[in-house]
Structure 1
Amino acid sequence: MSGGSASVSDLTAEWDDDERMDFMFSDFKSNRDVNPMDWDSKMDFWAALVVRSCRRRRTACCSLRELGDTFRRKDRSPLGLPTVLQDMSSGGKLQRESDFAADAGWLSWGVGLLLVRPLRWTISSVLGSNGVPPEETFVVVELVKEKAAEVLAAYHSSQWATSPVVTFSQLADLCKDVCADQSTLGVALLQLQREKKVAVSLHDGMKIVKFCRALQERVSPLSDVDLGVLQLQRSERLLEERLQALGEKAEGLKEEARVLLRQGKKTQALRSLRSRKQVEKRVDNLSNQLESIRGILDRIDQSTTDKTVMQAYQAGVAALKLSLKDVTLESAENLVDQIQELCDTQDDVNQTISSLGAADEDKAELEEELESLLKEAEPDALAHFPEVPTGGLRPSVPLQLEEDLSRLTLRDSGTSDKKTTTPQLLQDN
């Protein structure tokens, strides 16, 4: 199994099934109606595999020859790939690169990736043949939109985000991990141009890309200010490279003077130091120029930001004026008075409604309070009564006298007269 086949096997579990792949690698029937289920199954398999393969390779472009090499298995290429590409094109999943560029209005400037042939030649070459030309490049529409979003995100997270204008070579270097080739970057920029997120143009043979700023809904046309900023940026990079080279040269002369001095060649060492001083002066001059350029770029960026903020303020003031068009201070005061009056009326109504059950509530509350007072007064009401005796009850006076008399009678002998007398005394009493 070839290297390409090994990589494709990660995209579909059916790739190692020889019997299944024999069916998939066979050509399509000329008439779908003969067996529509098998025809659709094979078409869905290859269409999905084309998209997955391009996505993994970080490209949005493909050709019949490239797909044939990618899907080669046991020295065989799928016979139905031309039919797959034609079906995907008719379904809007694929689009010829030249047609995609024409729809985006980018045929006027090539980027070295779209070898912009006359559109008539492209169409006639396709229509004049029964199949798909092996070198014809197709764009996977789904992946183009994905790559466009990734390119925009890469730009906004880069050091170039402070400047809306970059060269195509700078952008290609920035997006090397996003787009596998310049063709994919080109169609991604075409998609962004359709979405009004970038403007692409040629200036003095240099391809320039202008991005939409964060607070803007659409990109503005390339202006003289943008070109001036681009020129300043190029000068800044040139000075940085020159300064780095001069710094390395100065260090080299210093080391050379040290070596000559060790060798006893004092005159030559002094000459090296003198040259080093001259290089350092040039470094100082170039450093001042670099700081001036950076200051200008900062001012331009600040002015652009201020302009955007002022435009936002103006839009806000206009909207505020429009919203307050029919509002006056007098009408606001009258409205507040009416609201206060309605609130007072509502309070009065609520108070009247709540007074209906006030009497019953007061009566119940008073009864509860009275009951609590009675519970508190019960211990005090019993305080003036005598204590309850703990022993037995004392007998009454007549009973006590009778008991005393009985004891006297029992002690005396011949008490018959007393017995008869005692009742008489009691009777007399």
Structure 2
Amino acid sequence: MQMTDFCDHLYNESTDGYIQILKLDDENNSGERTIKIYNTKNDGLRDIVEELHKKEDVFLAPNTMYIPKRRVENIRQFRALFQDIDCESMGLEKAETVYMIWIMHYEGKIPKPTMVTDSGRGVHLYWRIQNAPFGALNTWQELQDYIYYNLKHLGADKKATDGARVLRLPGTINSKCDANCEVLYIDNDVEYSMYELREEYLNYKPKTHQLKMQQTKKIDNKVISNRFFNSYSLHMERANDLETLCRLRKYEMTGYRNMAVHCFAYWKGIYVRDNYELENIVIEFNNAFTEPLKETEVQAVLRCIPKAIDKFIAYEQGLRSGERKRVSKGMRDKEGYWYKNETLIDKLGITSKEQKYMKTIIGLDEKYDRKNEKRRADRRNENGLTNKQQELQDLKNKVESMKDQGYSLRSIAKDLNISLGKVQRVLKK
């Protein structure tokens, strides 16, 4: 019943994609534990979890994948926000921790969980959401980090802020403490919208507020909802730009490898919080170079990333929680690694031709070229005419139509409130 209730809460007929379940088996002769992986669609999920009832160390990924390979970049649907609270490490009892979480909800600091499970040594929290595609990653990550930031004093695990994270399945056993994992609380009447949660908890304001703030020069801590990028989505697009750059150069990055690996690891780390998974992604990226960096050099880069991500979360979520932050024009006051476009273009040797394929890493010349191109496009409609040309064309159509109906040129001029000479000129064109 517990396993069925858990599955029914997260997955229904709207579920699309693969749900992954992991079962850690006993140690082999070399002392390593093997992993049995199940990938199933929603209609086969309950049969698998029944098979795993009362088994040890079983984990499930709340979000689904579009292919049977569990990675953030493969997410098909976001089904829930979640947190892994290791309260015992903080000297807190589970009941005490859940009580404190509910108090925080009543104080308006976090949304009310829709499900709470006992993980053996702590509790797992779930907030069921209206399913959303991979394109909602930055919103999901912002909300996930917001909840983590507000619960880390209770033992929230930063690794569990990863979109491809697995959590212990209720109805199974945690072998580390020989304890049953079970559902403690469930509310099937609540399903959140991520965008409503963002408006309520992430301190967003429309972009017009930014213009007003600049005009009045008043200090405000509201997070600006830029229609292009915010801090989270910017990092994701920068990682995509870097991969585009490597493809353009056919991965001939000699002279730029260290900077490329450093930036890629950090930008990817904003979303991939599992250090082991991030390491694999970065190593794959480095190995694609025609001359890869040495493994020791890659590991040196990776060692700096977790602390930088901690600083990024603290800064961004502090801002969303209403803390006053000072940011200079060069963004030197922001936490984490922030590079201006000019710096990236210089450090990576990006040419003006390569910038034309980028979304975010562009210089002033390319920026102005795009603005001018947009203005030129905006000046012409679907007929290829400017506003003035379209007005004249519409006027000519009216004049010709009235003339065909037998109106004299003078009466046309009078009815359209224009001069006789203009009517004559229009007909000559």
Give the helix-richer structure, 1 or 2: 1
TM-score norm. by structure 2 comes to 0.25
Structure with bigger gyration radius = 1
Greater relative contact order (Cα < 8 A, sep 6+)? 2
TM-score norm. by structure 1 comes to 0.25
